[in-house]
Amino acid sequence: MRRHRNVKIVATLGPASNDYAMIRALHEAGADVFRLNMSHGTHDDIRARHAIIRQIEQDLDSPIAILADLQGPKLRVGSFARGEEELVEGADFRLDLDPAEGDAARVCLPHPEIFAALEPGANLLVNDGKIRLTVRDCGPDFADCTVTVGGVISNRKGVNVPDVVLPLAALSDKDRKDLEFACALGVDWLALSFVQRPEDVLEARGLAAGRAAILSKIEKPAAVKCFDDILAVSDGIMVARGDLGVELPVQNVPPIQKRLVRRCRAVAKPVIVATQMLESMIESPMPTRAEVSDVATAIYE
């Protein structure tokens, strides 16, 4: 079963899609690439999914690419005792370094570099900007916030701090370990999160040493500014619209997407448009008309 269409489909595997039958069904339905998210799960989990994909590839005599997505310097909250909490607009909420499980009043944010850089009035955006917190008071190990846009917050959701410049390394210690593990496992692609400059890509390329292709995720304004330099040292690009749309005004994202896709096509390098594709189908069996148009636009580009 070989597909010859130019457009490929990347599917992220999760708890509901981690057995042979489901992964095979996804591939037969059209998934060409399976994304393994290194932010979640253990190496044993990743190894098991990798083995299943390779078995399906062999059973169907159909090539399947595997993409290991490194966490990168992604800022995430810790875990909650109940898995999730509802934050109500106007409520108080604390972020701190205490590793204890969170509740409706607080949660751990294990990133001291954030607290060192925060000032009262700064905004923190959680879960791709769905929740907004405004800092009232802060110190080296805490930030007391007011919920200005409420919503459900759950385990390990991402945090953006658009008002603050944070000194973050391109690859964390976890990323280096995950990179070596993924290369030894035999993945086809490594996705680098929060790339800001070409040096970030070159570091990962040196560690991979030709064992996997390098896909740079564009999700920071700095990466957009030096995109051509990043593209030159990357094997492929992912336009990751989630964090990009949090860090930049949302109306700027569509023209940026179009421009970056065109530049990739001009130099014959693969480009993936990602984040919130068909997101309503998490709850609904049918996509919205806007989502259909969004997917079609990405294909036409």
Active-site residues, by number, are: 35, 76, 217, 275
Q: How far apart are CA 199 and CA 183, in angstroms?
A: 20
Q: Is the dihedral of CA 54, 55, 58, 61 positive or negative?
A: negative
Other Cβ atoms within 10 Å of 118 Cβ, number: 23
Amino acid at 108: C
CA distance 160 to 141: 18
Q: Whose CA is closest to 38, among 154, 187, 199?
A: 187
Q: Which CB contacts under 8 angstroms, 24+ apart, belong to 5-9? A: 7/299, 8/32, 8/33, 9/33
- Cα dihedral 78, 37, 28, 19, rounded to 10, equals -60
Residue 175 neighbours by CB under 8 Å, 6+ apart: 38, 70, 71, 72
Are 77 and 121 within 8 A, CB to CB? no
Longest dimension (CA), the chain: 59
Q: What are phi and psi of 251, to 5 degrees?
A: -70, -15
Contacting residues for 79 by C-beta, under 8 A, at least 6 apart: 101, 102, 108, 155, 156
Q: First-to-last CA distance in the chain?
A: 27
Q: Hey, what are 107's tokens? A: 């949660």
